[in-house]
Each structure stands twice: as structure tokens, then as C-alpha cells.
Amino acid sequence: MKNQKFIQKVLLAVMICSCLIGQAMAQNIDQIRWKSAEQVRVILGEPETITPPVGTHASYTMWQYDNYTVAFANGKAFHLFAKNSLRNIDLRENRRANN
């Protein structure tokens, strides 16, 4: 259940970030979208850090570069977003108790 909530938050963040990315980043997204990890390494080089895979229905991994992050699902790159774009997003849940 914890992993599912984490995945939902990651997907929400990715969807929000896709709206925030400028036209300049779109060219890079098209370069890497649906490519394998090996293909992304050829295009972008070695990442600074790689988060371990998480998820139950799909395996999600994030590769950190200087100015952006590449998100992978089941070994395929599906999104690229500016590294600092997640700082302004509040991922805390706001649930009210049902009375």
C-alpha cells in the first residue's frame, strides 16, 4: 500500500512537471522517450545518481543529472523534467475526516 501511494505521488509529480517544462526541454524528451537505459546513456551520458526501482505494478527508477531527471518505467524512459521543478510541488495528502 505504501509503494502504491508513492507511485501515485510520483506519477502526479511527473504529470504536473510535464505542464511546467518549456519548449527547449521538449526536444530532449523526444530524444529519450521510450528508449532503454542503455540508449539513454548513449544520448545523455552517465547519470549522477540512480534511485533503486520501486513499485508493484511497474518498476519506476529515476536518473539524476545536473539539471534534469529522467524517469523510467519498466526499463523505458517515459519522462524528462527539470531537476528543481519538484521543489514547489506539495505532495502531501489533504484528506478530511468523514463525519
List pLDDT tens digits, range 30-86: 889 999 999 999 988 999 999 888 877 788 899 999 888 899 998 999 988 887 665
Cell of 14: 511527473
Domains of the chain: 2-86 (3.30.1450)
Judge whether residue 26 has pLDDT over 50.
Answer: no
Give residue 49's Cα distance to chain centre: 13
Task: Report whether 17 contacts 81 (CB < 8 A).
Answer: yes
Looking at residue 95, its pLDDT comes to: 53
Look at residue 15 and tell me whether its pLDDT is greater than 70.
Answer: no
What pLDDT, on a 0 to 100 scale, did the predictor assign at position 23? Answer: 36
Task: Tell me phi and psi for residue 34, to 5 degrees.
Answer: 65, 15
